[in-house]
Structure 1
Amino acid sequence: MLVVLGFVMIAVFMTIVMTKRATPIVTLILVPLIFGLFAGAGLGIGDMIVEAVLNLAPTAGLLFFAIIYFGTMIDVGLFDPLIRLILRFVGHDPVKLVVGTALLTSVISLDGDGSTTFIIVTSALLPIYLKLGMSPVVLTVTAAMSNGVLNTVPWGGSTSRAAASLQLSPIDIFVPMIPAIVAGLLTVCVFAYFMGISERKRIGTLSLDDRRVLAEREPVAVGAAASGARAGGSSVAIRDDFSVPLDTQNMLAVRPKARPRLIWVNLVLTLATMTVLVADFTEPVVVFMVAAAVALVINFPEVREQSEQIKAHADSVISVVGMIFAATVLTGVMNGTGMVSAMAEWLVTVIPSDLGPVMAVIVGLLSIPFTFIMTNDAFYFGILPILAETATHFDISTIEMARASLVGQALHQSSPLVASFLLLIGLANVSLGEHFKKVIWRGTIVAVVMLIVGGLTLAYPLF
């Protein structure tokens, strides 16, 4: 009975999320609540949820202050010199431009906000692509893969969901995956290099008239109003239910909250924060609480400025942290009613014993297509907990399964279910079909490279 209820609950949850009949937060609360009552939880369902809330509170706090911190560092211009260096490196060489796209996207992706990343990257680089007569599809493919790899940072969508669904620390998931993430970024740069070579050869065959037509193309700029404001857009118009930052050419130059005199102070603070975080001296949530508070005091000494800065990132905080707390209903009900254990025991009887030792590899491979055809919410809250519980019967820990499940993000960020990806192709005026032709096999290879490197560096067992 519990097995049937568990799988039906997951199917209902995934269907509602994927068809967008309700927000993930609403679905995470109501669906498991209803099925928990059917499973006989009764009034005890409250205790199950509260226990899950207590377990996930540190994760929610970590994400809250990490978003505030990195959002503040981008707003005050900490990464601007590196961005300008990349743009100077790019010049007008197609190869350098595509590799620079990968590097620039990687840097800006550190704040975990895909929409802001794509607005800045396309605003800075798309005019150069068009001027040179290069295909904007190359930009969207490179940016999507780079952002997908960096979506595995602790405050990113995939890691935070994996941590929430399995009640783990996102830092513990992330740190052993650093070699795999670096390998993924290097693989993206290799693909970028060869795409740049192809573009350089193709451009050589274009006539001057063809180049002029490409250079005069007007990209369709679409994006969230909040993202446009964070990226520096000053005025906004509405098109097809999307907000459009009109002044996108100078987004990097327009930085009203920039603190150039404090750049070295902010750099030292960031390096110190990362050092303490990786060294694991104290709880990650404490590290980011202190770092965010110090960053606000240093860069915005007035109370009004601090309040405005926090409000500027309220949308991102509410959507991520709200989702984490809503997930406690799902995890609390599944664990409290015994659904996870019952479903895992059933899977153990189904999965051949010979495949047991490679469950980490299985979840990694499944994450590639599954996170492309479904949302991260559906995969990490619906599928991962069952596979992770099953893996424990084969002496593979839940944290190892969580790490392996991250590799599919290289392709996930090109899923039509991802809002920020739709923003990207809208900004570059690229069709889904053109993008998919170039990204699906490349993103799959990046994910497989990450999976292999993660296993070789003992983030999880390969065999």
Structure 2
Amino acid sequence: MLALLGIATIAVLLAAILTKRLSPLVALIIVPVAASLLGGFGLQTSKFVIDGIKSLAPVVGMFVFAILYFGTITDAGTLDPIIDRILRAVGTRPTRIVVGTTLLALLIHLDGSGAVCFLVTIPAMLPLYDRLQMDRRVLAAAASMAAGINFLPWTGPMIRASASLHVPISSLFNPLIPIQAIGLVFVFGAAYWLGRREEKRLGLTRADGAIPMPTRELTPEQQALRRPKLFVFNIVLTVLVLGTMVVMGEKVPPALMFMVGLCVALIVNYPDVDMQRKRIEAHARAALMMAGILLAAGVFTGVMQGSGMLKAMAQAAVGFVPQGMASQIPVALGLLSMPLSMLFDPDSFYFGVLPVVAEIASQLGVPAVHVGQAALLGQMTTGFPVSPLTPATFLVVGLCGIDLADHQKFTFPLLFGASIVMTIACVVLGIFPW
């Protein structure tokens, strides 16, 4: 009975989110609470909810302060010299331009926002692509690959995986550092190949100095926030925050590192209290939206686990999985995770599908952390820039002025290839059992 109720709960949740009848926040709260009451758990439902929210508090704190921190140092112009240097270095040779586009997008996506990455990268590089008559699909693909491969601890998929599986972010991310490095090698190799192909198509063998370099224009408001004299300080601060989080993630909570980092960044860059308040307000909307989703997800996971529905579903499904195939669940999910981005939005997959897969794997002796890592190799990481379920995809095609179908046909194989390479690397390096 519990297994059927759990299946019905997830089905209703997915239907509500995918058909846009309910927002993810509303669905993640209303659906599981209603299911718990229908299951006869009564006032126990409140305990399930509170337990679920408590378990996510550190993750919510980290994400909120990560958004505020990266927003603040970006406002201070920390990335400006790097961006301008890249734009000057690419010249007018397609190979350099595509590789430079990839590097620029990778750096801009350090804050974890695909929208910001595309809004900065594509307008900055598009004039150069047009002057050289380069294929705009290449620009879209280069930016998409860089953003897709960048599953850092404060990005949405990583935080969702940690929240839904109740696994520390450091346990998910740290083993994947070499895998991400391998993925980056593939991405920059693909970018170089795309650039060489464009050179051959255009018949170019050398740079044409007559073509002007691209430039960036900052608004007066942006100029007023820039702190170029504090560039070195902000870079050192960021390295300390991220380095401590990666190296000492088990001892020092990531939320604390971003809290302290934000405070130091605000005090040094914007000593005036009013400016500090305005910087927080400028980025509070994005922080609040994700915090709300994560707390709502705590309601869902709390009810599903506390009521026993998740365990009952897994026990019912275990019988359908051959014992000898259990160890290969992470590999199979790693290979399928990127295409699944075309079917599930991040909330419905990470909060609706992934916990069930993880529980099935757990029943068969496969750690949940491996399942979470497998999902992160493609599900709304490499998959999000081509998924019709994410606004960022339409932002890419809109800024580049290309058709969605053309973008998907051109970029999908490259992103899927990155996901496959990283999955194979996980097997070779012993992260996934085989």
Shorter chain as denominator, the TM-score bin is over 0.9
Q: Hey, what does 1:218 align to over in structure 2?
A: none
Q: Secondary structure at the match of 2:341?
A: helix
Q: Hey, what does 1:455 align to over in structure 2?
A: 427
Contact kept? 1:456, 1:462, Cα under 8 Å: no
Q: Secondary structure at the match of 1:372?
A: coil
Q: Hey, what does 1:401 align to over in structure 2?
A: 371
Choose the corresponding residue for 2:263, options 293, 301, 306.
Answer: 293
Choose the corresponding residue for 2:217, options 250, 256, 262.
Answer: 250
**What per-residue deviation string (whole Å, max 9, x for no partner) do you get for residues 134-182 of structure 1?**
11111111111211111x1111110011011112222321121111112
What is the correspondence of 1:226-245 to structure 2 with a 5 Å cutoff?
none
Choose the corresponding residue for 1:345, options 315, 335, 338.
Answer: 315
Distance 1:397 1:251 in 2: 48
Offset of 1:249 from its aligned partner?
5.5
Contact kept? 1:17, 1:23, Cα under 8 Å: yes
Aligned residues: 421
Which stretches in structure 2 are left out of the alignment for 5+ residues?
205-210
Residue 14 and residue 399 in structure 1: after superposition, are their counterparts in 2 closer, same or farther (change >3 A)?
A: same
Counterpart of 2:293, as a letter, is: M
What is the correspondence of 1:407-446 to structure 2 with a 5 Å cutoff?
407-408=377-378, 409-446=381-418
Contact kept? 1:159, 1:170, Cα under 8 Å: yes
Q: Hey, what does 1:174 align to over in structure 2?
A: 173
Offset of 1:255 from its aligned partner?
3.8
RMSD: 1.8
Point out 4+ residue stretches in structure 1 off by more than 6 angstroms: none
Q: Hey, what does 1:226 align to over in structure 2?
A: none
Offset of 1:454 from its aligned partner?
2.7
Distance 1:55 1:413 in 2: 30
Q: Hey, what does 1:361 align to over in structure 2?
A: 331
Distance 1:339 1:171 in 2: 28
Contact kept? 1:145, 1:411, Cα under 8 Å: no
Offset of 1:341 from its aligned partner?
0.5
What is the correspondence of 1:87-102 to structure 2 with a 5 Å cutoff?
87-102=87-102
Q: Hey, what does 1:331 align to over in structure 2?
A: 301
**What per-residue deviation string (whole Å, max 9, x for no partner) do you get for residues 227-270 of structure 1?**
xxxxxxxxxxxxxxxxxxxxx95249954311111111111111
Counterpart of 2:335, as a letter, is: L
Distance 1:127 1:88 in 2: 14
TM-score w.r.t. length of structure 2: 0.93
Residue 251 and residue 419 in structure 1: after superposition, are their counterparts in 2 closer, same or farther (change >3 A)?
A: farther
Distance 2:370 2:426 in 1: 10
Q: Secondary structure at the match of 2:149?
A: helix
Q: Hey, what does 1:132 align to over in structure 2?
A: 132
Distance 2:385 2:400 in 1: 16
1:199 aligns with 2:198: yes
Contact kept? 2:105, 2:117, Cα under 8 Å: yes
Distance 2:135 2:15 in 1: 36
What is the correspondence of 1:71-110 to structure 2 with a 5 Å cutoff?
71-110=71-110
Distance 1:374 1:423 in 2: 19
Distance 2:243 2:362 in 1: 32
1:11 aligns with 2:47: no
Contact kept? 1:123, 1:250, Cα under 8 Å: no
Distance 2:89 2:190 in 1: 18
Offset of 1:372 from its aligned partner?
2.3
Q: Hey, what does 1:262 align to over in structure 2?
A: 230
Distance 1:200 1:251 in 2: 31
Distance 2:421 2:52 in 1: 34
Distance 1:140 1:21 in 2: 31
Residue 167 and residue 454 in structure 1: after superposition, are their counterparts in 2 closer, same or farther (change >3 A)?
A: same
Residue 252 and residue 360 in structure 1: after superposition, are their counterparts in 2 closer, same or farther (change >3 A)?
A: farther
Contact kept? 1:136, 1:428, Cα under 8 Å: yes
Q: Hey, what does 1:209 align to over in structure 2?
A: none
